[in-house]
Structure 1
Amino acid sequence: MEKIGILIELKDGNIKKTNFGVITLARRQGCELFALILNGDAAACKEQLQQYGIGKIIDLTS
C-alpha cells in the first residue's frame, strides 16, 4: 500500500484548518496516511487527526 506523509501545521497549538483539506484529498487516493508534527503537541492532536483518517502520527521535535 502506498503511503502519504502530511506535514501538519499548527497555530497556537491548534491544527490549522487547511490541513484537513489536504488530509481529505490524500485520503481519496486510498493510501495509508501519516501525520508529521514538527515541534508541536502530537498527543493533543492525535484524536482529531485520527477522526480524519490519519493512521500514524510522527512527532518531530528538535
Structure 2
Amino acid sequence: MGTISEWIGKHKDGTRINLELSISPIKKYRNDELKTWIVAIIRDITTRKLQDEKIKKQTEE
C-alpha cells in the first residue's frame, strides 16, 4: 500500500505549482531473495486545485 501527499513546489520560472506525490513499494522475489523497489509519481495538480477552489466559491454563494 502506498501513500499520497500534496506539496507546493516552484517551477523553474518561479511560479508556484501544486504537486501530488504518490509513493508505493513493490516487493518481488528475485533469485530466492525478497527485493523491494520504490515507485514514485509526481503530478502537477495546479489546474485541479484551481477548479476545486472555483467550485467551492460557487457553492458558497
- TM-score of the aligned structures, taking structure 2 as reference length: 0.22
Q: Which has the larger radius of gyration?
A: 2
The higher relative CO (CA closer than 8 Å, separation ≥ 6) is in 1
Quick check: which one's helix share is greater?
1
TM-score by length of 1: 0.22
